[in-house]
Amino acid sequence: MAALYNLTAHELSAMLSRQEISARELTESVIARIEAVEPKVRAYLTPTHDLARQQAAEVDERRARGDSLSPLAGIPLALKDILCTRGIRTTCASKILHNFVPPYDATVVSRLREAGAVCMGKVNLDEFAMGSSTENSAFGPSGNPWDVERVPGGSSGGSSAAVAAGEAIIAIGTDTGGSIRQPASFCGIVGLKPTYGRVSRYGLVAYASSLDQAGPMTRTVLDAAMVMNVISGKDPRDSTSVDLPVPDFTQACRPDVHGVRIGVPKEFFAQGVDTAVAQCVREAIETLCELGATAEECSLPSIEYCLAAYYIIAPAEASSNLARYDGVKYGHRSREWAGHIGLMEKTRAEGFGAEVKQRIMIGTYALSAGYYDAFYKRAQQVRTLIRRDFDRAFSQYDVLLTPTAPTTAFRIGEKADDPLAMKLADVCTLPANMAGIPGLSLPCGFIEGLPVGLQIYGKPYDEETLLRVAYTYEQATDWHTRRPAL
């Protein structure tokens, strides 16, 4: 039998329910794996092995009593370190929060706790989720398990690396412009960004409030559906969460795409997308057509303005959200200051990294008097055009298929001096956040030993169709069964 840390959540859930293994055995297997490979992968910022052992023991006791348990009970979980965790350090990979311990759990975290998932710890990210590689982390970059000299993607790079390396069975990431899907592509796993409002943002430390969304990062599509069943649903503490029934997403995981209409937006195969990546994606589309779907090229003309509009809207919201880090209420406080303004200036200068400072300045400029209409208002108008393009496309097609990222994982440091090239790593994923629609990435091939991701866009609150199409493709291929040889 394969090592327990190499198995999927649904396989392990079945083994646990049949009592072939215990939650403690599974947890110890993952802890041993973390100790073996973490020096290379560097996924974890705050491991919680003692807590994990305690939670696993509680699951075993409840199972022995005959209690009714969630399918996620006993499954080892990694949490992106931007989700508040009661009693566990939450840093956002920033010096300004290096010693912050929240007094409460994010709703996503509390729902997973209630389901019995076992918390292995908090994992790395780009500082405040601003980046595409984890290189912006104040604690250093993580390595991609397929090649530790390369980035795992970002901003949820620690989450993707942990799952791909067997350091967690499932993980939670957040996605503001592709931060679940792009690292999932780079690490050869499944990443699902739900529709905006499907999952509560309460306790998710805000970067850009109209774009942020938490979601699952897993080895398989069925695993992602299992996590979605737990984390989805209305939360009275988040006014942007939507009061819609939560379906059993696992029921959508059936191999059937007969009659599914696929749109293939030509803009996502334009200049900048590696030809080998595009070829892998086109072969995946052909596979789905052989399985009963139909596909045709379409156009989303406003997409060419998406990157520019995003990098006005997201920094503008960041400028507002990050104003709370002032050295007074919590987090880092400078020891050398004079007066309230001096305290704030000195604290923020010491606590924020270069990328965060840059985005705050861009956002503050875009919102300033005399420039608001020229930049922020116009970017919001472009956002409306992007949403209308998707609405038109979804009146004809059930899903849209694109590459997740224009390239495979790049080397650590390769794009450090080229901020535009770094931002272009998210060019295929940004539109989902701007339009508020769901998007999913799953592996569809390898180029020179590095994974390639297929991205599926769906209609708002129609994660079920995304999961069905993804599951059908996954079951017809073996990309998801491959593991990196760390």
CB 351 within 8 A of CB 96: yes
Q: 411: which DSSP letter?
A: B
CB 408 within 8 A of CB 445: no
Q: Which one of 94, 155, 185, 200 is the catalytic residue?
A: 155
Q: Which one of 70, 80, 160, 232 is the catalytic residue?
A: 80
What is the Rg, in whole angstroms, of the alpha carbon atoms belonging to the chain?
Answer: 21
CA distance 136 to 380: 27
Q: Does the annotation mark 368 as catalytic?
A: no
Neighbours of 289 (CB within 10 A): 14
Nearest by Cα to 480 from 299, 126, 223: 223
Q: Does the annotation mark 80 as catalytic?
A: yes
Q: Does the annotation mark 179 as catalytic?
A: yes
Write out the two tokens for 426: 């998210």
Across the beta sheet with 214-218, the strand order is 44-47, 118-123, 76-80, 170-174, 214-218, 190-193, 439-447, 450-458, 399-403, 261-265, 294-298
Tally DSSP H helices, then E strands, for the chain: 15, 11
158, HSE (Cβ side, Cα atoms, 13 Å): 34
Nearest by Cα to 182 from 402, 425, 401: 425
Give whole-number Cα distances, 79 to 25, 82, 157, 217, 424, in Å: 21, 8, 11, 10, 26
CB 55 within 8 A of CB 49: no
Nearest by Cα to 137 from 120, 157, 162: 157
Nearest by Cα to 434 from 266, 277, 305, 328: 305
Q: Which one of 179, 185, 241, 302 is the catalytic residue?
A: 179
Q: 126: which DSSP letter?
A: S
Question: Which 3 state secondary structure label does DSSP give 49?
Answer: helix
Nearest by Cα to 6 from 251, 214, 189: 189
Give whole-number Cα distances, 376 to 1, 309, 313, 439, in Å: 56, 8, 6, 25
Neighbours of 173 (CB within 10 A): 34
CB 137 within 8 A of CB 193: no
Write out the two tokens for 424: 């272009």
Active-site residues, by number, are 80, 155, 179
